[in-house]
Amino acid sequence: MITAYDVEAVRVRFSSLRNGFAFLDAPGGTQVPDEVGEAIAAALRDASGNLGAPYATGRAVEAILERAKQDAAGFLGCDAAEIAFGMNMTTLNFALTRAAGRDFSAGGEILTTALDHDGGVAPWVELASDRGLEVAIADATDELTIDYEDLERKLTDRTLVVAFALASNATGSIADARRICALAREAGALSWIDAVHYAAHEAIDVEAIGCDVLLCSPYKFCGPHLGVAYVGSERAEAWRPYKARPSAANPLGRRFETGTLPYELLAGFSATIDYLDSLGGMSVLRDYERMLGEQLLDGLPDNVEVFGVPGMEGRVPTFLMNVAGVPAETVAHRLAERGIGVWYADNWYCVALADSLPPQSLRVGLAHYNNAAEVDRLLEELAQIGG
């Protein structure tokens, strides 16, 4: 256990960080510590089998799955039976929305927000098209946060689900999850959370939040490509899944898992949780990342504009910005040539937010393996590019 956070001791656990390239692109997927890759390789060597096999590999994959469920439950604050794994968040979300929507009647409404990634919206749009439902969108404020007054106005007796992103992958702004979930309960609606971006930076307790469904993706917090979902037991028991008929429906989470799971990635997921725990957990990483975020915001040259929440309060360390007079694409490519990785795009999959964003922007996303020297390098390069 690292009692005082030592970023340099963390960085040596990543082969990908040894060549000096500064990965400031965490929202697009984080780097992976070597121990996670080693756990995946070990599972492929020693546990290449399937559930139910009456020999060693069958027992090995059963143990991998059981442990991964327990690790996910600990990470999200729920029971292991309430965890479901899938290929990725979006695929898993399509499956869960289909199961939940079997009994939805035409005329019902799904309420989303303008800050949502389309992986949390498109499944509802497609379900609405098939079932005669409507999808409404709560507006964003001028600071690119959720307009809660508009959300409350748009909650009606026809609202079946309130779906929202816990943190915006575009602007980094954080939603008041407890408030939204409470409003959904009062309206008799389900609360459905996309926590993909949030889970990489903050601890999650689904019981404290009071949500019905929450999804995240380990590749955003130094793990393998997977989708992880919490489905509250009351809801899971009521929904009939889409899956092959002989497949296990119990424990509860199994009913939403279609086909053979990638057991080697589940082994990697457990190694990811071990890795995060070895650093002191998400609260330690959060404090360190906030320090880096403040360094970035305090040091930005005058020619750089940040969109959205101006400080670190109410956000994770993801920043949407532009350099005055220089196209975002040009900036991103120049930074890459200088050994710094950031992304550029238009709407960042926040389709409803597109009109509130510049035609193209840069996104800088910090992770707990970044250090102060990398932030300084970025600031120096931004100043030179705009100079």
120-159 burial, b at 16+ Cβ within 10 Å, e below that, comes to bbbbbbebbeebebebbbbbbbeebbbbbebbeebbeebb
Residue type, 119: G
pLDDT band at 109 (very low <50, low <70, confident <90, very high): very high
Mean pLDDT of 13-17: 98
Q: Alpha helix (H) ranges present in 140-229?
A: 148-154, 177-186, 206-209
Q: Which CATH architecture has domain 7-24+280-386?
A: Alpha-Beta Complex (3.90)
Q: What is the pLDDT of residues 307-359, one digit of tens each?
A: 999 999 999 999 999 999 999 999 999 999 999 999 999 999 999 999 999 99
Q: What is the pLDDT of residues 147-161, one digit of tens each?
A: 999 999 999 999 999
Ranges of CATH 3.90.1150.10 domains, the chain? 7-24+280-386
Mean pLDDT of the chain, nearest integer? 95
pLDDT band at 259 (very low <50, low <70, confident <90, very high): confident
Q: Any idea which fold 38-276 has?
A: Aspartate Aminotransferase; domain 2 (3.40.640)
pLDDT of residue 367: 98
Q: Which helix (H) or strand (E) holds 318?
A: strand 318-323
Nearest Cα residue to 130 out of 150, 113, 108: 108
- pTM for this prediction: 0.96
Mean pLDDT of 284-296: 97
CA distance 153 to 255: 36
CB count in 10 Å sphere of residue 335: 22
Q: What is the pLDDT of residues 351-386, one digit of tens each?
A: 999 999 999 999 999 999 999 999 999 999 999 997
pLDDT of residue 387: 65
Ranges of CATH 3.40.640.10 domains, the chain? 38-276
pLDDT score of 1 more than 80: no
CA distance 358 to 352: 13
CA distance 318 to 203: 16
Structure tokens belonging to residue 76: 């999200």
